[in-house]
Structure 1
Amino acid sequence: MRILAVDDDPVFLMLLEHVLTAIGYKDLRTVESGAEAMTLLRDPRQKFDCLLLDIDMPGMTGIELCRRVRALQDYHDTPVVMITAMKSLDFVEPAFRAGANDYVHKPIDELEMRTRLRMVGDLIEERRRRASVESRFSTDHGLPVINVRFDEPVALSEAGSVIDYLALENYALTLGRLRLYGHSVLGFKVTNAESIFCSTDGIGYIDTMANVASVIDGALKSCNHLIAHAGRGEFVAMISQRTDLDVDLLQDEIDLAMDRYAHLHEALGIPLPDVTVGRILHTGFFTRTSVSSLFKEARQSVRDVAMVR
């Protein structure tokens, strides 16, 4: 794994290099500003597998740098881990909105960094495997292709509040139990997602799920929220307040918005997505519900609603 680390503190970069070397990551390049990083990233002779970005830098912040990185075709889905010494979590959500995949605190803990980079490595290997399959198919048939599994939480980027599922889990983990108590979680399900998946190719399926994400994003516009596609046509939304939205009204708004795509889907021969809204969930103040369990509960909730709808 070739890593680029960006931080305006040269002493921290030396310490980071020491930690990374100790856990087996020796191919590291460091720079001290966002401008230097962008120069490297635009150089076709350079290629990095993972970016470690300090959030609080003078001039171009790490969040702005992350946003610019995501605009580069070669780094659209490269894993980005944000690093910061700031204690406030006010900037965490903007970092994930900008495209970050994960987040760690200074001072760097060796075990935490090892765990984060192991997850990054797994993500890189999965994306390399998919790219290899897509490349072979494209070479054999001369057609663009995206290799997608139905149960895979494929990344969608068309809507402003949509982030990767892993990133949403990582964001929720940064909140801690107290802050998580102040959030609401809501599941959505495209009940005919498997029919859509079978009726089109990977590009068509991702485009359709992206349209659904945009509709959900619009329906939740009155709330500060983040959305992720969890696979199998299911979505999880985190709302940054304890809310009791009228789920029936939300369902009606989504149905109405999806109807606007009816003519397009008819022309393409792809079933129009049938989206179901689940129940709004909250964590208890004294409970120790894990983030993964909370998200699973949200997905199960919408499955239950879909069965009786």
Structure 2
Amino acid sequence: MRILAVDDDPVFLMLLQHVLASLGYRDLICVNSGSEALALLRDPRHKFDCLLLDIEMPGMNGIELCRRVRALPSRNDLPIVMITAMKSIEFVEPAFRAGANDYVHKPIDELEMQTRLRMVGDLIEERRRRSTAESRMSTDFGLPVLNISFDEPVKLTEVGSVMDWLALENYALTLGRLRLSGHGVIAFRVANAQAIYCSTDAIGYVDTMANVAAVIDAVLRPGNHLIAFAGQGEFVAMVQRGDLDPQLLEDQIELALDRYAQMHEALGIPLPRVQVGEVKRAGLFTRTSVKRLFHEARQSARDQVAVR
């Protein structure tokens, strides 16, 4: 794994180099500013598998750098881990909104860093396998190919507050039980997603899910929220509003999706039908895990298919 680390503190970069080397990650490039990092990232001769970005830097901070990296077509899916000494949650959410995949604190804990980089490694390997398969099919048939499974939580780009599924899980984990109890989790299920998946190619399916994501993002405003596509035609949103009415949201989503009806009819793709689950919350004094909370929200949306 080739890593680019960006931090304005040269002493910390020396420490980081030592920690990563002890974990077996020795292919590390260090720079002191966002402008230096962007110069490297814009140069196609430089290949990187992961970015480690400090949030607090003079000039261009790490969140702005993250946002600019995501705007680079060749780097928009590069794994980004934010590193910072700031503990306040007010700095965590903007980092994930800007496109960060994960978040660790200073001082660096070796075990935590090892866990994060292993997750990054798994993500890289999965993308490499898919890229190899897509390249092979593209060569064989001479057409652009996107190869995804129905269960896959594929990344939906350029959609408001939508982030990677793994990034949303990581964000929820950073909140801790006290802060997590102040958020609600609500799921949205495209009831006919399997039919949509079977009626078109992968690109058409992803485009359709992106349209659904944009509609969900719109109806959840103006409340603060983050959304992720979980695969299987399902979306999970973390919200701070407690007054969400699932039936009202369904009606609003149905009305908004109607504008795509003519296009879907022409393409022979079923128009998405979205079911909305109940808002789930973690109790302050319970031990509900993030995965369990997300599962309960998704199950609630699935149950509504039979109820309504």
Q: How much has 1:28 moved relative to structure 2?
A: 0.3
**TM-score by structure 2 length?**
0.99
**TM-score by structure 1 length?**
0.98
Letter in 2 for 1:291: V
- Name 1:75's counterpart in structure 2: 75
Q: State the percentage of identical aligned residues.
A: 73
Q: How much has 1:244 moved relative to structure 2?
A: 2.6
Letter in 2 for 1:300: Q
- Name 1:180's counterpart in structure 2: 180
Alignment of 1:308 with 2:307, yes or no, is yes
- Name 2:140's counterpart in structure 1: 140
- Name 1:289's counterpart in structure 2: 288
Distance 1:31 1:148 in 2: 36
Q: SS where residue 245 of structure 1 aligns?
A: coil
- Name 1:280's counterpart in structure 2: 279
In the TM superposition, what whole-angstrom CA distance separates every residue of 1:182-230 from its partner, at most 9, and x where no partner exists? 0010010001000110111111110000000000000101210000000
- Name 1:244's counterpart in structure 2: 243
- Name 1:153's counterpart in structure 2: 153
Distance 1:158 1:2 in 2: 26
- Name 1:218's counterpart in structure 2: 218
Q: How much has 1:273 moved relative to structure 2?
A: 0.5
Q: SS where residue 203 of structure 1 aligns?
A: helix
Q: How does 1:102-121 map to 2 (within 5 A)?
A: 102-121=102-121
Q: How much has 1:158 moved relative to structure 2?
A: 2.7
Distance 1:307 1:299 in 2: 14
In the TM superposition, what whole-angstrom CA distance separates every residue of 1:150-196 from its partner, at most 9, and x where no partner exists? 00000012321000000000000010000000001001000100011
- Name 1:15's counterpart in structure 2: 15
Q: How does 1:86-125 map to 2 (within 5 A)?
A: 86-125=86-125
Tell me if the contact between 1:244 and 1:280 (Cα under 8 Å) persists in the aligned partners.
Answer: no
Q: How much has 1:308 moved relative to structure 2?
A: 2.0
Distance 1:267 1:93 in 2: 40
Q: SS where residue 279 of structure 1 aligns?
A: coil
- Name 1:269's counterpart in structure 2: 268
Distance 1:201 1:152 in 2: 14
Q: How much has 1:89 moved relative to structure 2?
A: 1.2
Q: How much has 1:14 moved relative to structure 2?
A: 0.2
Q: How many residues align?
A: 308
Q: SS where residue 4 of structure 1 aligns?
A: strand
In the TM superposition, what whole-angstrom CA distance separates every residue of 1:5-43 from its partner, at most 9, and x where no partner exists? 000000000000000000000000000000000011111
Unaligned segments of structure 2, at least 5 residues: none
Q: CA RMSD in A?
A: 0.7
| Structure 1 runs of 4+ with >3 Å offset | none
Letter in 1 for 2:69: V
Unaligned segments of structure 1, at least 5 residues: none
- Name 2:227's counterpart in structure 1: 227
Tell me if the contact between 1:51 and 1:80 (Cα under 8 Å) persists in the aligned partners.
Answer: yes
Distance 2:292 2:31 in 1: 39
- Name 1:58's counterpart in structure 2: 58
Distance 1:182 1:127 in 2: 34
Q: SS where residue 46 of structure 1 aligns?
A: coil
Letter in 1 for 2:154: V
Q: How much has 1:54 moved relative to structure 2?
A: 0.3
Q: SS where residue 48 of structure 2 aligns?
A: coil
Q: How does 1:166-177 map to 2 (within 5 A)?
A: 166-177=166-177
Q: SS where residue 260 of structure 1 aligns?
A: helix
Alignment of 1:206 with 2:222, yes or no, is no
Alignment of 1:256 with 2:255, yes or no, is yes
Distance 1:80 1:71 in 2: 13
In the TM superposition, what whole-angstrom CA distance separates every residue of 1:280-305 from its partner, at most 9, and x where no partner exists? 11111100110011001111110011
Q: How much has 1:240 moved relative to structure 2?
A: 2.5
Tell me if the contact between 1:158 and 1:214 (Cα under 8 Å) persists in the aligned partners.
Answer: no
Q: SS where residue 91 of structure 1 aligns?
A: helix
